[in-house]
Amino acid sequence: MHDTTEEKVLEVSEEQLTRAERSEQKITKPEPTPYFLTLLCSLAISLLSVVNPFLTNLATNLQSQNLYAGWAMTQGQVPYSQIYGTSGLLYYLMAWTSSLAFGQLLWMVFQTLALWLAGLFLHKTLVLLQPKQDLSRSLLLLFYLLVFALGFGGLYSSIFVLPFIFWNLSFLVRYLQDSIKDEKFILYGAFGALAFMIDPVSSLVFYSLTGLVLLVYNIVAKRVARGFYQLLAGLFGFSVIFYPIGYFTVANQTFGQAISQVTYAWDSISLVGSHSISNLIYYGLLTLGLGFISALGANLFSREKGQATSLRVLRFIGLLGLFITVFAAFILPDQGSYQLLPALPFAMILFALWFNKGKQQAPGRHRRDRRRPTMWTSYLSGQFFLPLLAIFYLIGYPLVNEYILSSGVSAERSKAAQYIKEKTKDGDTIYAWDTSASLYQKSGRLSAVSLLSPTLYVGTAENRLGLQNGLENSQPKYILVNNDVKLLSDAKQLISKNYKESDLKLDHFKLYQLK
């Protein structure tokens, strides 16, 4: 009698265990690839970019310079020589292509494609981590929300490099799970070259970290010979892409200038300067508000046992990468939320590991998992809704600045552009001593100096001197001076000596014409 009862209890327990295991398997079953969701989000972000004529006035200085670069290249200008920029050559070729037809609307197509592929590769990486039910979809939505907020208006090279970075992540995870052949490292190198040709700084940081991880992993796993073969394959793939595209700079004799400009970020680094306090407050509040610091802390003090090698490696990359990119934003003189875009891939790694904690539960505890807080609950209410406040600020500030704080500035800029267009002829050059480079396109006149604005890329003495010399040597027909932008001493002397104020009366600007 006792034996029969015990057997029934065992049968019931086994039946419950089997049902629980089936339920757990159902919960962890990979979600289908969200092609439509990623495309919809990518399209929405791109439609709300500064390429949209209704939003062009919201462009930051860098965004206006990116728009100018594409337009100026269609006028025969050469990047790095006549257009100063820190992005890669492939990015500028894309800007040129986008400006050939449809009034630069092709920018939207390229950005939609880039964001769509980035979302698909991010989802592929998340699936490899075996996330909780619906977590990968929630993380995708968070990714697009952060891209929209940090890169409001789009067109940043840090956005266009994201597909290659997330592909690299999925490649690394699959390699650590022994599902990649060594020959695939040719593709790894080729994608690395494409990434470098779009955004040199972001790609260099990311590929340096993954390269370091692969080196250490192969040494520990006693795969030195195999690792050397992978290195050769990667270098071959890199050279196949890099040299043909890079030859453009050699042919145009701009190779040295290109190297100098893409390394501007390193040259302009300053631990102590006039920007230090404001950067500390600005980026400190943003990283706290968006949850980057919480994700960093949650992973830094994580002590989960029996974790897969791929997860430990991703945690290391996420922690070190987020620290490097955020610290770099702190010490760069040019401030803007877009400076945190390179940190986004590392933040997404840490978010995925953070919100996926506790997934492995005993089979009989699947009902308790259903009562666990969702990702959005943890992300928003778990951080006192600071992410919501930060996102509202990032999206709302450009609107408030344009229509309230700087009301009338854009209208006067357009008025000055129309005046210049009427008073000059094709071939005349101008200069905008302003916080935006939009004057050039609005007036249809090219910049007299490769540095399009005195408020961007002037973090080095070399660039400040180059700006002053460029103005003196080129003698632009008109110089529009924003009253809120301080004139350098040499520029002030040049204007007082060679220019006179025009008869166009403006409240926020002064327009000077060559005597």
DSSP labels, 415-434: HHHHHHHHH--TT-EEEEES
Indicate whether 386 and 455 sit together in one domain. Answer: no
Residue 51 CA to residue 98 CA, distance in Å, equals 10
Indicate whether 159 and 60 sit together in one domain. Answer: yes
Indicate whether 85 and 109 sit together in one domain. Answer: yes
Whether residue 393 is contained in a domain is answered as: yes
Whether residue 447 is contained in a domain is answered as: yes
Whether residue 483 is contained in a domain is answered as: yes
- More confidently predicted of 111 and 304: 111
What does the DSSP 8-state code read for residue 229? H
**The whole model's pTM is what?**
0.90
Query: Measured in whole angstroms, how far is the alpha carbon of residue 67 from the centre of its chain?
Result: 17
Indicate whether 345 and 451 sit together in one domain. Answer: no
501 forms beta bridges with: 512
Whether residue 362 is contained in a domain is answered as: no
Indicate whether 111 and 173 sit together in one domain. Answer: yes
Domain count, the chain: 3
At 506, is the pLDDT very low, low, confident or very high (cuts 50, 70, 90)? very high
Longest CA–CA span in the chain (Å) reads: 114
509 forms beta bridges with: 482
Whether residue 364 is contained in a domain is answered as: no
Averaged pLDDT score across all residues of the chain: 89
| Per-residue confidence (pLDDT) for residue 92, from 0 to 100 | 96
Whether residue 295 is contained in a domain is answered as: yes
Structure token digits, residue 458:
């002037």
Indicate whether 152 and 121 sit together in one domain. Answer: yes
Indicate whether 216 and 267 sit together in one domain. Answer: yes
Nearest Cα to 159, choosing from 115, 108, 124?
A: 115
Indicate whether 455 and 373 sit together in one domain. Answer: no
Indicate whether 3 and 116 sit together in one domain. Answer: no
510 forms beta bridges with: 481
Whether residue 74 is contained in a domain is answered as: yes
Q: What is the average per-residue pLDDT within 114-135?
A: 90
Indicate whether 418 and 476 sit together in one domain. Answer: yes
The domain of 16 spans: 1-30
Whether residue 360 is contained in a domain is answered as: no
pLDDT in tens, 221-247: 898 999 999 999 999 999 999 999 888
Starting at the edge strand found earlier in the chain, the sheet holding 478-482 runs: 446-447, 429-433, 478-482, 509-514, 499-501
Indicate whether 201 and 293 sit together in one domain. Answer: yes
Q: Is the pLDDT of residue 15 over 70?
A: no
Indicate whether 12 and 156 sit together in one domain. Answer: no
| Per-residue confidence (pLDDT) for residue 129, from 0 to 100 | 84
